[in-house]
Structure 1
Amino acid sequence: MSDSALESLLARAAETLKSARHAVAFTGAGISVPSGIPDFRSPGGLWSRFDPMEVASIGALRRDPKRVWEFLVEAMDFFGRAAPNPAHLALAEMERAGRIRAVITQNIDGLHQEAGSRRVVEFHGGCQTFYCTGCKAPHDPGLARKITASDIPWRCAACGGVVRPDVVFFGEGIPQAALHEASRLAAQADAVLIVGTSGEVAPANQIPANIKARGGTVIEINLGPTLYRDITDIRFDAKAEEVLPLLASRTCC
């Protein structure tokens, strides 16, 4: 993308966000790749080495919790070593400035909150909360990052049940609270900033489409083709960690 083309897109996107009354951000795995968390679906990602139905489904958790925890230990190692990148920080800055009202994320890494975003809807849950599948007692997430291969599966000291993260496994529904809040935000939104998601995962992928259907403007920051090409009004085919700080500097002053 040429400098002049980038400046033109930044000007259009900044004007859209400045004039919007209720803009939201909608993020996916791509925003966290620069933080060291691989996109599970990309070549070299965890799904190229693990069958998600064997390690990340509710059926697998019931059948073979040790296998699931082998996967979780590796995934949480990525999360534990990751830090917010400039894209996360820019969205937090834009929220503080009132340019976006909330972040709706498909990610479970907690990096938006760590970056300073205050209103985050975790559509697929998050790895900051753990609980026992038996007695439902909460468990310290700090302990989860200390789990080793000899400790798995993590079991509740009170009842012996398997401890799990409060994330949406394959075969589970979206948490009602997250579904309600995301739907409410989408119903109010007059602009959406899509970052780092190709639009392949349902039902989350319908959120931008619902905003567009109500007359909202769609701004997209993604490398490569996505399923949002037919609804996007302003598209940056560029890295979010490069574009978002530039956009924040033009909207937050």
Structure 2
Amino acid sequence: MAATLTSDVEIHELRAQLQATAWRHIVVLTGAGISVASGLPTYRGPGGLWTRPDIEEVPDAAMLARDPARIWTLFGPLRGSILTAAPNPAHLALADWEARSPETTSFTLLTQNVDGLHGRAGSRNIVELHGALLRTRCCNPACTLSPFEDTAEHPAPPLCTVCGQPLRPDITLFDEPLPVDAEWAAKKALRECELFLAIGTSGTVAPASNFVRGAKYAGARTLLVNLTPMQPRHPDFDIEVLGRAERVLPLLLGAAS
């Protein structure tokens, strides 16, 4: 069972241990919990998007095929929230950690988030597993239109200027596969992983929920930073650090004093 850390003393001791090792391959996985301090909601936790009484079903591939307008109704208003949000200390701590890593260290940030806050914080090697909400693409997979930056909320689905099919947010819905390039990059990083750090994720959405298993198989040390304990506990996490990401990460990842 994973060791659980909650106090500042324990977190500082863990930081010293991490800094004493010359990690060659670091992989970080982030979920919605890291963006809560930026004013963005989680999906399944208290007050999460998918727990709202007006949402009777989660947005999946079938909903997109049946009613693309419903997808825009759910996700369009979130664009305004993302535009007014700013990276919080958790995002900044990860960007600083990457910037301080030696050139001999590969650092891969896998994110389930679609808010783009990691990039705005300064992180460089980002793999957007679920796409980006501030991009739009065509529903037609055979269309030649490239995804493009788009901040409009679109109360009704706009039509593609190339093929005439409805456009959609450039995000991965439930029952849709991950983007091929993102999945390939994630698998490559996990095969070489020596230190795996997951932050603010429920651990229930595949395939990201299985990434820690892949890291553990590669022999990595595995850590989870989350507000509440994972239920049930995942046997492949070595250490669980409980607390708000925006407070824990600066303590855990900060430069040695």
Q: Output the TM-score relative to the length of structure 2.
A: 0.86
Q: Report the alpha carbon displacement of residue 237 of structure 1 after superposing the two structures with TM.
A: 0.8
Q: Please say if residues 72 and 154 of structure 2, whose CA atoms lie closer than 8 Å, have aligned partners that are also in contact.
A: no
Find 1:11's aligned residue among 16, 34, 42. 16
How many pairs were matched up? Answer: 244
Find 2:149's aligned residue among 122, 141, 148. 141
Aligned to 2:235: 230
Q: Report the alpha carbon displacement of residue 225 of structure 1 after superposing the two structures with TM.
A: 1.5
Q: Deviations over 1:192-225 (max 9, x none)?
A: 1111112111111111111112211012211111
Looking at structure 1, the residues matched to 187 and 207 of structure 2 have their Cα atoms a distance apart, in angstroms, of 11
1:121 matched to 2:140? The reply is no
Higher relative contact order (CA 8 A, sep 6+): 2
Secondary structure of the residue aligned to 1:68 is helix
Q: Please say if residues 147 and 154 of structure 1, whose CA atoms lie closer than 8 Å, have aligned partners that are also in contact.
A: no
Percent of aligned pairs sharing the same letter: 39
Q: Kindly provide the amino acid, as one letter, of the partner of residue 38 in structure 1.
A: P
Secondary structure of the residue aligned to 2:158 is coil
Q: Deviations over 1:155-213 (max 9, x none)?
A: 22454321112211122111221111100000011111111112111111111111112
Q: Please say if residues 197 and 222 of structure 1, whose CA atoms lie closer than 8 Å, have aligned partners that are also in contact.
A: yes
Looking at structure 2, the residues matched to 81 and 45 of structure 1 have their Cα atoms a distance apart, in angstroms, of 19
Q: Please say if residues 79 and 153 of structure 2, whose CA atoms lie closer than 8 Å, have aligned partners that are also in contact.
A: no
Q: Residues 190 and 100 from structure 1, CA distance in 2 versus in 1: closer, same or farther, beyond 3 angstroms?
A: same
1:23 matched to 2:8? The reply is no
Find 1:105's aligned residue among 104, 111, 121. 111
Q: Report the alpha carbon displacement of residue 231 of structure 1 after superposing the two structures with TM.
A: 2.2
Q: Report the alpha carbon displacement of residue 128 of structure 1 after superposing the two structures with TM.
A: 3.7
Aligned to 1:63: 66
Find 1:160's aligned residue among 131, 141, 164. 164
Aligned CA RMSD, in angstroms, stands at: 2.1
5+ residue gaps, structure 1: none
Looking at structure 1, the residues matched to 186 and 57 of structure 2 have their Cα atoms a distance apart, in angstroms, of 25
Q: Report the alpha carbon displacement of residue 140 of structure 1 after superposing the two structures with TM.
A: 4.1
Secondary structure of the residue aligned to 1:138 is coil
Find 2:137's aligned residue among 111, 115, 131. 131
Aligned to 1:196: 200
**Structure 1 segments of 4 or more deviating over 6 A?**
none
Find 1:45's aligned residue among 29, 42, 48. 48
Looking at structure 1, the residues matched to 119 and 7 of structure 2 have their Cα atoms a distance apart, in angstroms, of 33
Looking at structure 2, the residues matched to 95 and 195 of structure 1 have their Cα atoms a distance apart, in angstroms, of 15
Looking at structure 1, the residues matched to 188 and 203 of structure 2 have their Cα atoms a distance apart, in angstroms, of 20
Aligned to 2:75: 72
Looking at structure 2, the residues matched to 179 and 140 of structure 1 have their Cα atoms a distance apart, in angstroms, of 21
Looking at structure 2, the residues matched to 139 and 123 of structure 1 have their Cα atoms a distance apart, in angstroms, of 15
Q: Residues 236 and 14 from structure 1, CA distance in 2 versus in 1: closer, same or farther, beyond 3 angstroms?
A: farther
Q: Report the alpha carbon displacement of residue 51 of structure 1 after superposing the two structures with TM.
A: 3.3
Structure whose residues are more often helix by fraction: 1
Secondary structure of the residue aligned to 2:211 is helix
Q: Please say if residues 131 and 172 of structure 2, whose CA atoms lie closer than 8 Å, have aligned partners that are also in contact.
A: yes
5+ residue gaps, structure 2: 1-5
Looking at structure 2, the residues matched to 20 and 108 of structure 1 have their Cα atoms a distance apart, in angstroms, of 28
Secondary structure of the residue aligned to 1:32 is helix
Q: Kindly provide the amino acid, as one letter, of the partner of residue 11 in structure 2.
A: L
Q: Output the TM-score relative to the length of structure 1.
A: 0.87
